[in-house]
């Protein structure tokens, strides 16, 4: 089911704007405004129509009226959040409802614009929302890639990586796993190559992204464990 005023394919290189407003004239005006700057646009009279249409798999901004017939705009926002649907929302409303505005922003809305509004203010809010959604989708894609790379490590490479990024030195890892320090370095190098980490600091950041270690749990010097090993050996000598 396609919304009224839907562009062909409802897709564009810069993203998609989905307008949800139960006022036909407002839907038409907003759709024309967004199409005038080259944005693919689809319009819907209710949240139910939008859900039937679905959220496209590309940067998306939903321009959503707070007060709709049937489920409200806030109800739709809650549903989308609960379903894990990624799209940035810009609310529009003819009512100066401060509690509603606060609730919408706390739930992740990018902006809340009161009617009547300047066209440029709305366009600025939509462009910001689309950029946020691009950034969010890129971050999700990068995290998926990291998970795939980590899954491609051998069990031993995963063990060595997790111990090193938590701050253990090569000798401590070797003692913990019952292997030599030279072998630890080999596994570390293989893990870095497969994870596509150019430096150990990058590997630590990747581990944090994957939730393998918390930022506060990583010692400041963990980015250079080989330096710690060298210093320890020097003191021992």
Give all domains of the chain, ordered by start, each with its CATH number: 8-142 (3.40.50.2300), 152-236 (1.10.10.10)
Beta bridge partners of 2: none
Q: Supply the pLDDT for residue 152.
A: 98
Nearest to 108 by CA among 140, 61, 155: 61
Tell me how crowded residue 86 is: count the other CB atoms within 10 A of its CB.
14
Whether omega for the bond prior to residue 122 falls within 30 degrees of 0, making it cis, is no
232 pLDDT higher than 70: no
Taking a C-beta distance cutoff of 8 angstroms, is the pair 184, 173 a contact?
yes
Q: Tokens 């810009």 — which residue?
A: 90
Q: What is the pTM of this model?
A: 0.70
Q: Of the ranges 63-72, 97-106, 127-136, 208-217, which is most confident?
A: 127-136
Q: Summarize the confidence of residues 227-235 as an average pLDDT.
A: 41
What is the number of residues in the chain?
237
Structural tokens at position 49: 């129509």
Q: Tokens 């050996």 — which residue?
A: 233
């Amino acid at each position: 089911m396609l919304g009224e005023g839907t562009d062909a394919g409802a897709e564009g290189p810069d993203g998609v704007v989905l307008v949800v407003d139960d006022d036909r004239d407002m839907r038409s005006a907003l759709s024309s405004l967004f199409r005038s700057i080259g944005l693919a646009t689809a319009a819907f009279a209710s949240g139910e129509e939008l859900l039937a249409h679905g959220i496209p798999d590309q940067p998306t901004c939903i321009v959503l009226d707070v007060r709709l017939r049937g489920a409200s705009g806030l109800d739709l926002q809650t549903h989308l959040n609960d379903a894990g649907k990624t799209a940035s929302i810009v609310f529009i409303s003819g009512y100066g409802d401060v509690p509603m505005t606060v609730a919408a922003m706390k739930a992740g809305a990018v902006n809340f614009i009161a009617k009547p509004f300047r066209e440029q203010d709305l366009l600025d809010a939509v462009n910001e929302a689309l950029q946020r959604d691009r950034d969010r989708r890129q971050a999700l894609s990068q995290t998926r890639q990291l998970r795939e790379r980590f899954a491609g490590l051998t069990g031993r490479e995963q063990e060595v990586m997790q111990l090193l990024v938590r701050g253990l030195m090569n000798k401590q890892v070797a003692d913990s796993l019952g292997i030599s320090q030279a072998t630890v370095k080999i596994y570390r190098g293989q893990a870095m190559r497969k994870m596509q980490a150019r430096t150990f600091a990058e590997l630590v950041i990747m581990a944090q992204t994957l939730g393998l270690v918390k930022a506060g749990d990583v010692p400041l010097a963990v980015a250079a464990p080989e330096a710690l090993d060298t210093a320890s050996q020097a003191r021992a000598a």
